[in-house]
Amino acid sequence: MSDVPSRARSTDPAATRIVLLDTPRGCRDHVYLQDLVWGFDPPEAVPVHLLVAVAHNGGVVLGAYDGDEIVDALLGLPALHDGHLAHLSHQLAVHPAYRHRGVGAALKWRQRNLVLAQGIDAIIWTFDPLQARNARLNLSWLGAEVRHDVRDYYGPMNDGRLNAGLPSNRLMVTWALDTPRVRERAAATEGAPPRALHSCLAPRRARPPARRTCVSPRPSRCRPPGTRPAWCSSRSLSISGP
């Protein structure tokens, strides 16, 4: 595999293809992208043998390719949530040169179709509330809802690029796959190439007046030392996009 390119190889978003990864070769590509995106030190990627096992036993292991370059990777597996069968979406890794192109959203919609075909109607996952773009993807684009927060969910994380030195506080998301709000979004994106997903979604609302809350990855820059955002003290939430 190549190093991080200075720009995306293809200028045509439709050239990106999404495939199921269920062979050792494909899963090695998945591991490569995990290492590239998160920079684990020491290495901590989900290994090839486990990816193959998940892919052949009810899980979803996906890769998006531009030519022979893997540019996005997803991992999910069946899980129990509140006593009901659900699907846990554990990883979504996007190549640094392909961010903000709609490829991640395309993988999520493909994941939805595969999970619905298994008779499962909900996908759950966590996301970092300090990552505003992830919040927009999850809540506005996909139509998922935040149910509650979890403090230091993963404990200290040793990836050198996104989470090092920060508590792994997370919001738990439930994506009810067959609700009207999600079906409407799915219909709008059906058949659209990844880049076009940006224009398939509801228009942005006018921004409210500026507030003294920020989503900087260094919260201490905008809050007094020792204080926490309001979401950290809430144990039961219900947050959704427009």
Each residue's pLDDT tens digit, 115-169 = 999 999 999 999 998 888 889 999 999 999 999 999 988 887 777 666 666 788 8
Mean per-residue pLDDT of the chain: 79
Asked whether residue 174 is domain-assigned, the answer is: yes
Asked whether residue 219 is domain-assigned, the answer is: no
Question: Domain with 153 in it: what CATH number?
Answer: 3.40.630.30
Asked whether residue 214 is domain-assigned, the answer is: no
Instruction: Decide if pLDDT at 219 tops 60.
Output: no
Instruction: Write down the pLDDT at residue 167.
Output: 83
Instruction: Please give the Cα distance from 217 to 238 (Å, whole number).
Output: 23
Asked whether residue 97 is domain-assigned, the answer is: yes
Q: Kindly report which listed range (21-35, 147-161, 173-187) carries the lowest average pLDDT score.
A: 147-161
Count of structural domains, the chain: 1
Asked whether residue 125 is domain-assigned, the answer is: yes
Containing domain of residue 131, as a range? 15-201+234-240
Asked whether residue 5 is domain-assigned, the answer is: no
Task: Return the bridge partners of 94, or none.
Answer: 72
Q: What is the 3-state secondary structure (H, E, C) of 69-97?
A: EEEEEEEEEEEEECCEEEEEEEEEEECHH
DSSP 8-class letter at 117: H
The arithmetic mean of pLDDT across residues 70-96, rounded, is: 96
Instruction: Decide if pLDDT at 215 tops 80.
Output: no
| Cα atoms in the 13 Å half-sphere on the side-chain side of 26 | 20
Asked whether residue 120 is domain-assigned, the answer is: yes
Residue 60 structure tokens: 């979803």
State percent of the chain over pLDDT 90.
Answer: 54
Task: Provide the angle, in degrees to the nearest 10, between the axes of the packed helices 48-55 and 24-38.
Answer: 120
Asked whether residue 54 is domain-assigned, the answer is: yes
